[in-house]
Amino acid sequence: MEVIIKDTYEEIGIEAAGIVKKSLARKPNLVLGLATGSTPLSLYGELIRMRSKEGLDFSGVRTFNLDEYVGLKPEHPQSYNFFMRENLFKHINIKEENINIPDGMAENLEEHCRGYEEKISGAGGIDLQVLGIGRDGHIAFNEPGSSLGSRTRIKTLTEETIQDNSRFFTGAEDVPIFAITMGIGTIMESRRVLLLANGEKKADIVARFIEGPITSEVTASVLQMHPDLVVLVDVKAAQKLKRAKYYRWVCENKKKLKTGNPTC
């Protein structure tokens, strides 16, 4: 695990976009796992800038989104399909046939989930998975208590998640109760994972998932076992990390390496 602490939310996005850019340079047909919500917006904004100003090429990229609400049509303003198109896809040169987002309106949801897993496998697996983290430690919609070996499936959202997401709707009563979500086991098979977190409200859970025990009550904690995890946090989200000084020390000294590909 590599923990990188930045001063601001904007710097997190710039650093994360740099990691994506380097990954694309190594593999133009990158398989990229994507997240929604407010956290990755600075990343997506910087990728859009890189496309516009630097010509960053997404024509060979294939994407797989983590989740989608059950019962929302793709064109619904609060669907994750709509979110991704408005905040990234319509601004870059990705091919429509390379975009994969769970279908919350699928006639047979269980069959659709199995098919989504097969699509990921058929693409050769996810090279780089972008994640955010919920206040209760969930990744994607893998709520507390989820199996750490789970696959893409239907998940019932907790009241806390519904309340957190109600800010995007007219009220909590309008937030769907069910979602399709990529499973923890699926996420853990990604070759590299990039988790972003910002703000004081995430400080407790950031400390728990990085430095606490591995437990299904904090599903993000299983990422401690991932062989290539990069965590990008701002100073507000990092304020309760007991080893913050060490993480900064690691980053400072990795810059001196003359071999490898240090992130810092």
Verify whether residue 204 is a known catalytic residue.
Answer: no
Distance between CA atoms of residues 159 and 143, nearest Å: 10
Q: Following CA atoms 94, 99, 104, 105 in sequence, which dihedral angle do they give, to the nearest 10 degrees?
A: 90
Point out the catalytic residue in the list 15, 68, 127, 138. Answer: 138
Point out the catalytic residue in the list 15, 67, 68, 234. Answer: 67
Return the sign of the alpha-carbon dihedral for residues 194, 199, 201, 203. Answer: positive
Verify whether residue 67 is a known catalytic residue.
Answer: yes
Measure the CA angle with vertex 239, ends 234 and 240; round to 5°.
130
117 CB-near residues (< 8 Å, 6+ apart): 151, 152, 186
Point out the catalytic residue in the list 15, 46, 127, 143. Answer: 143
Q: Following CA atoms 253, 21, 235, 209 in sequence, which dihedral angle do they give, to the nearest 10 degrees?
A: -90
Point out the catalytic residue in the list 46, 68, 127, 136. Answer: 136
Q: Which residue, among 160, 180, 193, 150, has the nearest Cα to 79 in the 3D structure? A: 180
Distance between CA atoms of residues 154 and 67, nearest Å: 10
Verify whether residue 174 is a known catalytic residue.
Answer: no
Verify whether residue 226 is a known catalytic residue.
Answer: no
Are the C-beta atoms of residues 202 and 166 closer than 8 Å to each other? no
Residues labelled as active-site residues: 67, 136, 138, 143
